[in-house]
Structure 1
Amino acid sequence: MNEKELLIYDFDVFKAVVEIEIERIKRYKDGKVFSIAFIYFPNLATKIKEIKAKEDYFIFLFKENVRTSDVLAPVEEDFVFMFFPYTEKKDAEKAIQRVKNKLKLDIIEGIATFPEDGKTSKELFTKLVQIMNDKLIPVIKI
């Protein structure tokens, strides 16, 4: 297993990473920022079939295009959450843009940043869900 694969976790661990980071910032009063994001690949299943890749191929390709310290939490084959430590929203946007350029896939994303969008994990995830609803409901057509 290479180093880049080590920071791919399930969603429960992802939530815990966010909560731990908030507690660390509070404890040490260092005023740091971080961002969390969702990334949805609407046509990923079709692309996987086109190139005859394994389902996790794009996750590992994705991980190769972000920092080692960034955390991925795939929820479904076409939906990923990310944690960007010490990263403001504009820099998280740049990281996601690099992924878009590399993968050449349609990507719908949303970003919430601590403390700008929330000072607790609940506030941050609420903001991210709000962004998800605004961006994804028209696409998924529930």
Structure 2
Amino acid sequence: MAASGAALDVVTRKLPNILCAIMLVAGLALAFASSAWTGLGLHFAHAAAAFVLGYVIYLTGLFGAGDAKFYTACAAFFPIADMLGLFVTIIGAGFVLLLAWMVAKRTIRTPKGADDFAKLPYGVAIAAGSIGFALLKLP
């Protein structure tokens, strides 16, 4: 689902609410299935904290609203103890994306009136960071 969000962000510069909602429910359902109410609470706490953090970042103008919702949905797959690790991994992926974006902006010209496509598709960094962090957590 995260990869789908990244692809949609690249192609449309939008992260659909329905995708974020499905991811959020899936993350919380997985938490409940693996650790019952305790797991659900820990994952919900992470999603709630990510929502607040994403909203603050949105207010600064560094994130779009879709990015904040997508980050919240991805956070639901991890307990609150993983909040810093996930955030740092996403920021690292964002730095790599930014470097690639800067190179691409110098070589690829966007047509006038393509304002949305002049924006960095940060959903790619959120997805890459989330997937990378999940892979790091595998035994």
TM-score by length of 1: 0.32
Higher strand share: 1
TM-score by length of 2: 0.33
Higher helix share: 2
